[in-house]
Amino acid sequence: MAAVRLLVCDAPSLRLEELLPGLREIGYECAYVQPAGAARAEPPWPDALLVSAELDGGAHGGDFRHLRDLFPGIPLLVVTPVRSFSLALDFFRAGAADLLALPIAAEEMAERIRIVCARLRPEEPIEVPVEVPIESPAAGRETPAEPFVPLAALPCGAVLLDEEGRVRHANAIALSLLGQPDLDSLRESLDTSFSRFEPQDEGGRSLPASAWPARRALRDKVLRSATVSLRRPDRTRVWLHVEARPQMEAGRVRGLTLTLCNVTAARAALRPSNGKPASAGKR
């Protein structure tokens, strides 16, 4: 089987150049260009593009449009150090196939690349995704031409809740983060406060149900977020940044999109074994 060819397109920060050794080690053929605007359409053609989210202008800039026009039909994956749902929506609307938030294990990156490449091959069918409304347009604004984003394509864990906080759907990332084998198991384990996961706040205190982002979003009818610690069924603790975005209709909440981003590694980097922040020094 031929190796997958990647074209890695960087911003001036040179953030993606550090990924090349690891990508080549797991079997990819990689070409690298910086800045991304210098990319040219010439053989051998890439199977996929890895692009820095820090391109000038981001999803709306000329470099991103240049890559989309240069390689139509070739999946484009955006790599970012920022775990932002809004950033992901911008890039998905602009034509990105996936958004990879750093840090990311090489195995997960390889699987995400495989999935977006398989979407172009009819012999490898991909399950029809659940559609997630992005948001209701503000009063006076034109309705977006494509007001849906596939649940499976979100770059973070996502759980859809109904107007009472019951689980409707979840993507594979959410199931993995929460240590659940399937959607039915997740439904049995959850409520709007995740009480069975023994949630804690950033100070290590037990998080009351009233403070859980989903409960607050249902009550306040606006996006609520928090960084919380959850104990999974295997008894390990993970730190997640949680955003609860209400889906509104005629002034009423008709559901929630709950997004979960794993920030355990980032917190560990800031808290070395001595318990002091990594930036702490002598005074």
- Kindly provide the b/e burial profile for residues 200-220, where b requires at least 16 CB atoms within 10 angstroms of the residue's own CB: beeeeeebeeebbbbbbbbee
Is 264 in the same domain as 154?
Answer: yes
Strand 98-101: give its sheet, edge to edge. Answer: 29-33, 5-9, 48-52, 76-80, 98-101
Decide: 260 and 245 in contact? Cβ < 8 Å.
Answer: no
Read off the tokens for 252.
């009423």
282 lies in a domain? no
Is 112 in the same domain as 158?
Answer: no
- Average pLDDT value for residue range 28-41: 87
- List pLDDT tens digits, range 108-126: 888 888 878 776 554 444 4
Is the pLDDT score of 279 beyond 50? no
Is 102 in the same domain as 195?
Answer: no
**Can you spell out the DSSP letters for 39-78?**
----SSPPSEEEEETTSTTGGGSHHHHHHHHHSTTS-EEE
**CA-based nearest residue to 77, from 145, 159, 4, 176:** 4
273 lies in a domain? no
Where is the domain boundary, 98, 118, 138? Answer: 118
Give the domain CATH number at 65. Answer: 3.40.50.2300
- List pLDDT tens digits, range 192-244: 888 889 999 988 899 998 999 999 999 999 988 888 999 999 999 998 888 88
Alpha carbons 236 and 246: distance in angstroms, whole number: 29
Is the pLDDT score of 50 beyond 80? yes
Tell me if the bond preceding 103 is cis, omega within 30° of 0. yes
Is the pLDDT score of 62 beyond 80? yes
* Least-confidence region, from 50-64, 147-161, 179-193, 201-215: 147-161
Mean pLDDT of the chain: 79
**Number of domains forming the structure of the chain:** 2
Alpha carbons 153 and 141: distance in angstroms, whole number: 26
Is 155 in the same domain as 109?
Answer: no
Instruction: Give the range of the structural domain holding residue 200, as residue numbers without chain letter.
Output: 150-268
Is 12 in the same domain as 109?
Answer: yes
**Which pLDDT score is estimated for 130?**
60
238 lies in a domain? yes
**Which pLDDT score is estimated for 131?**
57
Is the pLDDT score of 275 beyond 80? no
Where is the domain boundary, 94, 118, 142? Answer: 118
36 lies in a domain? yes
Binned at pLDDT 50, 70 and 90, residue 87 comes out as: confident
Q: What one-letter code names the amino acid at 265?
A: A
* Least-confidence region, from 119-128, 152-161, 225-234, 255-264: 119-128
pTM of the model: 0.54
251 lies in a domain? yes
281 lies in a domain? no
Instruction: Extract the runs of DSSP E, i.e. beta strands, from the chain.
Output: 5-9, 29-33, 48-52, 76-80, 98-101, 131-133, 148-150, 157-161, 167-170, 224-231, 237-249, 252-262
* Least-confidence region, from 32-36, 131-135, 143-147: 143-147
Is 91 in the same domain as 180?
Answer: no
Alpha carbons 188 and 93: distance in angstroms, whole number: 34
Q: Give the rounded percent of residues in the chain with a pLDDT score beyond 90.
A: 19
Is 87 in the same domain as 43?
Answer: yes
233 lies in a domain? yes
24 lies in a domain? yes
**Which pLDDT score is estimated for 99?**
87
Q: Which residue has the higher pLDDT, 118 or 22?
A: 22
Cβ neighbourhood burial of 77 (10 Å; 0-12, 13-18, 19+): buried
**Which pLDDT score is estimated for 120?**
58
Give the domain CATH number at 254. Answer: 3.30.450.20
Decide: 225 and 246 in contact? Cβ < 8 Å.
Answer: no
What is the distance, to the nearest Å, from the Cα of residue 121 to the centroid of all Cα atoms in its chain? 24
